[in-house]
Structure 1
Amino acid sequence: MDPLTPNRGVPATEAAQAMDSAYHEALERLFARTGGAWRLGLERVADLLARLGNPHRRYPVFHIAGTNGKGSTVATLDALLRGAGRRVGRYTSPHLVDFAERVVVNGEPMSHEAITEWFTRHEPLLTELGATFFEATTAMALSHFANEGVDVAIIEVGLGGRLDATNIVEPVAAAVTQIGFDHLEYLGDTLEAIAGEKAGIFKRGAAAVVGDTRPAIRDMLLQRAEAVGSGPVLVTGRDWQVDDIVVDAQGTSFTLTVNENGMSDSRRLTTPLVGQFQAHNASVALALLRSAGGEWAKIEREAATHLAGVRIAGRFHRSPPWLFDVAHNADGAATVVANLLAVGVPHPLSAVVCVLRDKDWRGILHAVSKAASRILVTMAPTAPANRTWQLDEVMDWAQAEGLPVERCDDFDRALAEAQVGAETVLVTGSFHTVGDAMERLQVDPLAR
């Protein structure tokens, strides 16, 4: 008998508890592979996938990199493809509440049983090859999509692009969204260096989409795509424009103008995602479909019908009085605040914030203070111990800046305190912060 198959005579609750225990034990061993320094490179994952029969070659792939906007672009592309009747695999990271959120087929996360079975079966091979956590997880996702018979997969880059484990895929089209400062120790300390790493997902013969809106970065990405022989290459501001953006509580409306064969075609579209830049993110997803041509381009022309199905966990995610929005850099936090002001959420507004110490927490707190009358800084329970911010330092700085910041080390107490006298409570900062709050408040990230 398969060790993961419950015995018929065992009560369901006992069998469920055993399965849950096995799942968490498997995850503990999987996450143990995150120890030590990052090990970027494609050799191990290529070897691993070859030993698994190269499952990633059994379906077409769209590949997406970027600092900001890639999650929204993935979510939009997923909704468009599913709306057109395709069976879609979606691989993203990190997760908010449950690891299974990373590997999804048609909106359904990979089951705990399937995760446990895959990891248990292949753990000896992972150990033999020295596979890292992300390499193992990527191989599991690509294998799961093959086993599930997906029509297409959308793969989000984990870190950078050129040496990221996901760059083993051979996409029909790849996109780089907006570039920002992140993971400087691995990707470089200039926007140009970071863009160069992310441009590493462009490949010869595959379509490429350049989504960064700044001319210098945009031109550099275009040059990288052309240099490796990508084609066709579509570039925002040249091959399409986004104008007349209107943001309200129902989402974001915009005019998309596509320039093709010397002709221009304009359409008014609406995404349920809230924020000025969500119009640009949606336009990148649409450009991916246009660039891939054929049946994919036909789906792009149906966008107005299917955009209503877009959902993204943890981004302007409302469950009144709670509003959850990940902001891992100052630009992201400024976007959160702009969205709050555009939508006009009920006030007073308080905020619960926890940021990893290697992020620009000063910029994030400055941005949040523009909307919140009260900010509670705290410690997210799942934040890695070696990356937690120092609240003594945070408070000294916040007091010197005159920001309305209070310290509440206990996460559960911070959530409770934030509700006192508030009509809206924003939870923001790292994925750990938003995910931990969702778990405690029993908010399902994948619920529609």
Structure 2
Amino acid sequence: MSELNTPGANAPLSDWLQYLGDLHTSAIDLGLDRVAHVAKHGNLTKPAKTVITVAGTNGKGSTCAIIEAILLNAGYSVGVYSSPHLIRYNERVRINGQELDDERHTEAFAAIEALRGETSLSFFEYGTLAALWLFINNQVDVVVLEVGLGGRLDATNVVDHDVSVITSLAIDHVDWLGDDIEVIGFEKAGIFRSGKPAVCGQPEPPASVAAHADDIDAKLHQVGYQFDYSVHGDTWHWQCGAFDLCDLPVPNLPLANAATALMALGLSELDVSDENIVDGLRNVKLAGRMEKVSDAPLILMDVAHNPHSAAYLAGKLATLKEENNAKVHAVVAMLHDKDIAATIAQMSPVVDVWYPASLHGPRAADWHQIAAYLPAGVQGYESPVDAFIAARESLGWEGNILIVFGSFHTVGEVADHLAKEE
């Protein structure tokens, strides 16, 4: 650590990000001792009057975005911390729906550098503390935190939050969380707080979730029990006990996450009207989640990267395929520590033409690893961008559909390419 040159406060953001990446021995280092020490030293554990923390295998980003959109419509000042980013690090912190300039991030990193002393921090821990510092210095009313990995030992769990949310539960991040769904449930329920409300949007979750809530006297609200939702044509209905919201607009994000977000908001005691909810649902957007790149041909991008999220994506594509009488072309690139076989199996019934691509880096899968689960003779590509260019040229008539999926890295590389084309 002593050999590293600490960037100055006026150094480019790229220098700081390189420094953060080299500072610690591991990019992922679960545990709270180090990050909690710095957070308490800097009075960063309560970054706003109201804090909502969101964990889950899938749907965290969507749930955070829906909460953010509704609260902004209600007039609150809102800070959101999410990860990973698609193109720019700046995407990880939003204040009132906007990314911050590089200079604000470097200012925050310099502040954390002064606070940490000799305490070593991972890249994610450093970024989390910097986000908390930014929220405090911008005096936001509400902070929405997306858990990075797991929950109990994630850096975001040093925060004194008011509402805890689990969006979904499935087996993922096996190297870190294992393949026992009960253990995964316990790890994610580790964000629950004694005496405070908690929400679980996963139907019939592992018993460990409710058991942990009982053990610490968290006030658990479970979908299918304390709250529920149903679709009625082009609208949907949400209810909690005797309270009903009818004829809600269907957002361009999973309804399960919208229902979970509404329960979290209801428990937050924030002043939100029915009109705020309707407008927020109608206007919410999130990059990389069924994101439309073009209409003719229809090109979409989605960060689905495990069987659970791929199943949702496949369902959406099946509907679009039928409506447009189209063929679906798919660019896919994944990380090797994901369940490639099961993810491809979920997508295969709706995909007609495959374009597997290689990612690059220590966790990257080569396109041959993906092609092993595809029809024989499929051509592979050295990057998602190469695959995307080939797929776009091969689409044929404008009624066909192109989907780019498999990883944040996959969508990020293609999104960056498209931004440079403009």
Contact 2:39–2:158 (CA under 8 A) maintained in structure 1: no
The reply on whether 1:141 has 2:128 as its aligned counterpart is no
How far off its partner does 1:59 sit?
A: 2.9
Match of 1:386, SS state, is coil
The structure 1 residue matched to 2:67, chosen from 67, 72, 77, is 77
One-letter identity of the residue aligned with 1:51 = H
Residue 415 in 1 paired to residue 388 in 2?
A: yes
1:360 matched residue in structure 2? 339
Deviation at 1:389, TM superposition (A): 1.1
Q: Which amino acid aligns with 1:176?
A: I
Query: Structure 1, residues 159-201: CA drift from partner, whole Å, max 9, x if none?
Result: 1011111001111111111101111232232111100000000
Query: Which whole-Å CA distance do the structure 2 matches of 1:403 and 1:180 have between them?
Result: 30
| 69 and 412 in structure 1: CA distance in 2 versus 1, 3 angstrom threshold | closer
The two structures have a TM-score, normalised by structure 1, of: 0.84
Map of 1:349 onto structure 2: 328
Q: How many angstroms does 1:124 deviate by? A: 5.4
Query: 1:72: Cα distance to partner?
Result: 1.2
The equivalences for 1:26-425 within 5 A come to 26-33=16-23, 35-36=25-26, 38-54=28-44, 56-123=46-113, 125-126=115-116, 128-214=118-204, 216-217=205-206, 219-231=207-219, 233-244=220-231, 246=233, 253-259=235-241, 263=242, 265-274=244-253, 278-293=254-269, 295-296=270-271, 298-299=272-273, 302-320=276-294, 321=297, 322-344=299-321, 346=324, 347-380=326-359, 383=360, 385-398=361-374, 402=375, 405-422=378-395, 423-425=400-402
In the alignment, is the contact (CA less than 8 A) between 1:354 and 1:433 conserved in 2? yes
In structure 2, runs of 5+ residues without a counterpart are 1-7
SS in structure 1 at match of 2:133: helix
Separation in 1 of the partners of 2:199 and 2:402? 37
Structure 1 vs Structure 2 CA RMSD:
2.4
Which moved further from structure 2: 47-56 or 60-69?
Answer: 47-56
The structural deviation recorded for 1:331 is: 1.8
Q: Secondary structure at the match of 2:221?
A: strand
* Superposition TM-score, scaled by structure 2 size: 0.89
Tell me whether 22-31 or 197-206 shows the greater mean CA deviation. 22-31
* 1:60 and 1:153 in contact (8 A); partners too: yes
Q: Could you say if the C-alpha distance between residues 81 and 313 of structure 1 is closer, same or farther in structure 2, counting changes exceeding 3 Å?
A: same
- TM-superposed CA distance for 1:119, in Å, is 1.9
Task: Give the 3-state SS of the residue equivalent to 1:134 in structure 2.
Answer: helix
User: Percent of aligned positions with the same letter in both sequences?
Assistant: 32
Q: Is the 8 A contact 1:369 1:404 kept in 2?
A: no
Query: How many pairs does the alignment contain?
Result: 405
In structure 2, relative to structure 1, the CA distance for the partners of 1:88 and 1:392 (3 Å cut) is: same
Q: Are the structure 2 counterparts of residues 90 and 229 from structure 1 closer, same or farther at C-alpha, using a change threshold of 3 Å? A: same
Q: Deviations over 1:67-100 (max 9, x none)?
A: 0122111111011111100000000110111011
Contact 2:36 2:158 in 1 (8 A): yes
User: Contact 2:228–2:239 at 8 Å: present in 1 too?
Assistant: yes
Conserved 8 A contact 1:289-1:300? no
